[in-house]
Structure 1
Amino acid sequence: MTLEDFWTLIHRSAVETVGQDQRTEWLTARLARRPVSEIIEFELHLTAQRKRVDTRHMWGAAWNILQGWCSDDGFWYFQPWLVGLGHDAFERVAVHPDALADTHEVRRLAGRPSSEWTDDEWPEWESMNYIALNAYDRATGEEEGLEDALEARGLYRVCDASPEDERWDYDDIEQRRTRIPRLTELLGEHHPAT
């Protein structure tokens, strides 16, 4: 599976389904019918794309979008949501997290308390973390087979965020204005009551 194949699957899952649960099942079912090597490659592509957005700069953008509710796990679930935006949007935001201000998915959340967001509006996609794992299990009947297959290659499944860039204070409005000015302007300096 090439990187282009990976992005084609992500795109088709958005076109052929509605909502994250359906997308997750669609991707899992499609992968389970492919050779085991492609399931492994899907996981490796997902990991490589996540690494590109596993930065504190992006974490600050996520924190702002999620109205201050972005823990370690929340950021880990935010990363596959970014992948789910599709290749073009992902490329833009991976380079400039502030470009999230231009996405329809973020613009529709602006000014609304998170308590009003539907499950499918939440900028998180936790279940994407398990697509390859579950597809491998379906394809082989081996419950932890993907992890064993990766380990045989000297690799392992990444299971948490670990940004290495400079820390900054996501609560500091001046830092937000400097680092993510368009998101700060779109979402406001203060978040609506949740």
Structure 2
Amino acid sequence: MDKKEFWQLIDSAKKASGGDQGLQEKELISSLEKYAPEEIIDFECLLCECLIEADDFGIMAAQKILDGYVSDDSYLYFRCWLVGQGESIFKAALDKPDTLAAVLDAPYQDFEELLSVATTAFQKRTGKEEEDETFPREIAASRGLDYDSDSFTKGEDWTESQLPKLLPKLWKKFGSA
């Protein structure tokens, strides 16, 4: 599986689900379980790469404005939500996080379930129940794709007082005075 196919799966599941993340998760699992186990592993690795790519102080600032706080978990789940929005929104947000103001209606966004899609599809495809070193997450980790490390965060750090100027559209829509 390459990046193009990865994004086609994400975009197709999002479209088919009509914005319902529970349905989007089920759509992704249903599509993925038809792939060979190696391709499911590729999906997990590409997801990890996207989560690492989105580990940026600008994305973190957007989440801070939306939620009022940033924790390790909420930041990871927000990046999952961002990947789940599809390639065009993902790439636009990486380039200019303030573009999220145009696609967000509610502040708190999370798609934690995206983290288990490949594992569930792999279990269904292989019949294996117990996770071991052959599972997608384990293989991704063995390849150095650790999206949970804070050593990857790119860009310039910010202070809360900089947020209104850093992301003015998001601040106007969701920020506190």
TM-score normalised according to structure 2 size: 0.86
Aligned residue among 86, 102, 110 for 1:124: 110
Cα shift readout 1:70-114 (whole Å, capped 9, x = no counterpart):
3110010000100111111111001111111122xx1x22xxxx6
Unaligned runs of 5+ in 1: 115-121
Partner residue, 1:47: 48
Tell me how far apart the structure 2 counterparts of residues 72 and 149 of structure 1 sit (CA, whole Å): 20
TM-score normalised according to structure 1 size: 0.79
Percent of pairs with identical residues: 27
8 A Cα contact 1:64 1:184, kept in partner: yes
- The yes-or-no answer on 1:158 pairing with 2:159 is no
Unaligned runs of 5+ in 2: none
Partner residue, 1:57: 58
8 A Cα contact 1:75 1:161, kept in partner: no
Cα shift readout 1:40-68 (whole Å, capped 9, x = no counterpart):
111111111111211122111111012x1
Tell me how far apart the structure 2 counterparts of residues 188 and 160 of structure 1 sit (CA, whole Å): 27
Number of equivalent positions: 171
Q: Runs in 1 of length 4+ with deviation above 4 angstroms?
A: none
Partner residue, 2:92: 92
Partner residue, 1:178: 165
- The yes-or-no answer on 1:134 pairing with 2:120 is yes
Amino acid of the structure 2 residue aligned with 1:179:
L
